[in-house]
Amino acid sequence: MPELPEVETTRIGLAAHIEKQQVKGLIIRQRQLRYPIPKSLDRQLPGQIIQTVTRRGKYLLVNCAAGHMIVHLGMSGCIRVVNAETKAAKHDHVDIIFTNGHVMRYNDPRRFGAILWSNDDPHNHPRLCSLGVEPLSRAFNTAYLHHASRSRRLAIKLFIMDSKVVVGVGNIYANEALFLAGIKPTRPANTLSREQYESLVSAIKQVLKAAIKCGGTTLKDFQSSDGKPGYFQQQLHVYGRGQQKCLQCHTRLTEIRLGQRSSVYCDHCQR
């Protein structure tokens, strides 16, 4: 579920429901996520009023006067806003209960996600302080990416998925952006031309924006509990289409593994 567009969609839905709301209490059923949920969260969050919900990469920041809750959804996490009567299901690890009766419920079967707490600027938190630029910001541009790639010989797909370079480009959208830009995922990063980086930057922005738009329209009703995937799926050109034909030239798509992740591309359209 969660690549950047899904996280951003979650952020928007969540913000609408919890901003300006006061935390009454919390229930932690499973403290052991990727990191143990710190006790400081239990101590400091109750009584707080949520000011804003922001995002840095795939981390959600729930900002209060006393500090900031930092939430990552990992591979399988999701957040829903439900009513207090809604019974907790399997893998519902944390509830943040608000005085208006709503509950922010964190569910994560694989527990690759995280819930942290920071008293200071969360951007200085060890998990966030080394992150690269935001893909939808102006700082993510041709000159930046081209320059950053000069010393890097690794496959371009792994390069754009490196969160120290740029955040939020996960496996699905890396595959899609490379297809749109006509670049083979295996090309060493330092062999691409400036022009190719220009296409790539624009493809990444385009793909992420389109997906956010999709998520935004289908997940509007955040109270409903059907976290259906598949909204952006109809628009995928290569991801999940290994062995099928290229939508542009009808060549059979190639599927390989790069960094233990599946990578699909068209040998004819991508150079």
Q: Which residues here bind DNA, judged by CB under 7 A?
A: 1-3, 32, 34, 57-58, 72, 74-76, 90-91, 109-112, 127, 151-155, 158-159, 163, 167-168, 170-172, 189, 229, 259-262
Q: Which listed residue (34, 111, 127, 261) is catalytic?
A: 261
Least separation in angstroms between CB 244 and DNA: 14
Least separation in angstroms between CB 28 and DNA: 16
Annotated catalytic, 2? Answer: yes
Annotated catalytic, 46? Answer: no
What is the signed CA dihedral for 111, 112, 115, 118, rounded to 10 degrees?
Answer: 150
CB 70, CB 117: distance < 8 Å: yes
Annotated catalytic, 220? Answer: no
CA nearest 35: which of 87, 112, 108?
112
| Token pair in block for residue 17 | 């429901």
Least separation in angstroms between CB 174 and DNA: 8
In whole angstroms, what is the distance from residue 245 CA to residue 110 CA? 33
* Cβ distance to DNA smaller for residue 83 or 260: 260
* Cβ distance to DNA smaller for residue 46 or 109: 109
Longest Cα–Cα distance of the chain, Å, equals: 59
- Secondary structure element (H or E) that encloses residue 257, with its range: strand 254-258
CB 132, CB 166: distance < 8 Å: yes
CA nearest 26: which of 10, 37, 14?
37
The residue type found at 266 is C
Q: Which listed residue (11, 55, 58, 105) is catalytic?
A: 58
* Cβ distance to DNA smaller for residue 153 or 271: 153
* Cβ distance to DNA smaller for residue 48 or 263: 263
Least separation in angstroms between CB 69 and DNA: 15
Annotated catalytic, 176? Answer: no
Residues catalogued as catalytic: 2-3, 58, 261
